[in-house]
């Protein structure tokens, strides 16, 4: 009898553990199927949506648009890992960038958790503005919170799908950032947690309709193209060959001109 009770208890606990694991396994794939990022290239952001800034003031999205391209990051501030990696990756991409947040472009970070507060947003902003460490960043990098209606409309507009995990009580979601035009058109999507500075620079130049950048950027961008399926810029081989061909012709022409002038002098 003494052996029977512990054995029965262990058997029952083992069965419960297996049942929970099986239930969790059946739920997890379902959640993962419901999260992701569906590109909405060239579609319009609903700029009339109202959120709260880090000071608790009501503000419409359109406040951050109109003159400059905008980098949009959807996260939640108490996310235990992935959202921090997204913001860290964005910061690492911004730091070598010649353009300055608040001067050539804006950054808008929006929490998709309606339970989060401006106080959380303010704390998160303080940390990342300090990490970015450039003058004027506080005026150009914005951290917003909002109600469930505004959040749902924004996330649906950009194709950002997320789901609350019933077991962990945390959000399952994809990772990435979006670049929008000054008019609020969705221009470029970047997936994951690392965003090459070169690609982000190209995206900002394109979104600004070439109002920022220089002549070298224009040549480089002619040699690269954005692939929506990967969210990355890759070499446009045909264009590279064209540029190389033109450069070769110009070099030969210059060489021949120099040689002709030398012959005439002799």
Q: How does pLDDT run across 255-265, given as a tens digit for each residue? A: 556 556 666 66
Output the pLDDT for position 247.
47
Those residues of the chain that have pLDDT short of 70 are 1-29, 210-223, 225, 235-266
Spell out the residues 6+ positions from residue 261 whose beta carbon is closer than 8 angstroms to its own. Answer: none
Type and span of the H or E element at 19? helix 4-34
pLDDT of residue 257: 60
Domains of the chain: 37-195 (3.40.30.10)
187 near 179, Cβ under 8 Å? Answer: yes
For the record, the structure tokens of 50 come out as 């109202």
Q: What is the pLDDT of residue 113?
A: 97
Q: Token pair for residue 263?
A: 């012959």
Q: What is the pLDDT at residue 139?
A: 97
Partners of 233 in beta bridges? 226
Chain segment 154-163, per-residue pLDDT in tens: 999 999 999 9
Task: State the pairing for strand pair 232-235/224-227.
Answer: antiparallel
């Amino acid at each position: 009898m003494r052996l029977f009770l512990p054995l029965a208890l262990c058997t029952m606990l083992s069965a419960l553990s297996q049942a929970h694991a099986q239930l969790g396994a059946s739920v997890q794939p379902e959640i993962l199927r419901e999260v992701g990022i569906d590109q909405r290239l060239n579609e319009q952001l609903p700029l009339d949506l109202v959120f709260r800034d880090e000071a608790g003031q009501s503000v419409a999205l359109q406040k951050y648009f109109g003159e400059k391209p905008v980098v949009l990051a959807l996260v939640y501030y108490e996310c235990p890992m992935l959202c921090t990696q997204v913001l860290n990756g964005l910061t690492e991409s911004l730091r070598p960038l010649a353009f300055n947040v608040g001067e050539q472009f804006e950054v808008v970070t929006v929490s998709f958790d309606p339970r989060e507060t401006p106080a959380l947003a303010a704390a998160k902003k303080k940390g990342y503005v300090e990490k970015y460490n450039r003058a004027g960043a506080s005026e150009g990098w914005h951290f917003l919170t909002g109600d469930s209606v505004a959040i749902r409309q924004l996330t649906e507009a950009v194709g950002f799908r997320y789901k609350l995990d019933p077991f962990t009580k945390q959000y399952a979601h994809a990772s990435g950032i979006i670049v929008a035009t000054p008019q609020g058109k969705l221009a470029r999507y970047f997936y994951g947690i690392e965003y090459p500075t070169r690609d982000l620079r190209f995206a900002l130049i394109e979104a600004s309709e070439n109002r920022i950048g220089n002549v070298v950027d224009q040549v480089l961008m002619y040699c690269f193209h954005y692939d929506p399926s990967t969210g990355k810029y890759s070499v446009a081989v045909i264009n590279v060959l064209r540029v190389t061909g033109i450069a070769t012709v110009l070099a030969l022409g210059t060489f021949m001109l120099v040689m002709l002038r030398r012959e005439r002098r002799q």
